[in-house]
Amino acid sequence: MINNKAMRILIVDDSLERSLQIEKWLNRLGYYRIAPIRCPKQLLSLTEYPSAPFGLLIVSRALVEEANLDMHAFCLERPNVLRTLIF
């Protein structure tokens, strides 16, 4: 269970509606440091350089497959992404 309400969360999905719905669900659970983005290029730029870690990365499987991203390698190369959920 993730109980750090101050953690940063990154949502990556090309559907703005779905991203906003996920953000709304997380807000109801008390999480407010959420950044929805819409493309893999933004994901790469936001996580390329070490910064304050993202406690959770929520990413669309369809987007990952479309961009040919190896999420396992991606997460291993980015220590500032602590947990990943692919839906």
Q: What is the pLDDT of residues 24-83, one digit of tens each?
A: 999 999 999 999 999 999 999 999 887 889 999 999 999 999 999 999 999 999 999 999
What is the number of structural domains in the chain? 1
Work out the burial of residue 27: count CB atoms within 10 Å of its CB; fewer than 13 is exposed, 13-18 middle, 19 or more buried.
exposed
* Residue 2 within any structural domain of the chain: no
The verdict on residue 69 lying in a domain is: yes
CATH code (residue 76): 3.40.50
DSSP annotation of 18 = H
3 occurs within a structural domain: no
Has residue 4 got a pLDDT over 90?
no
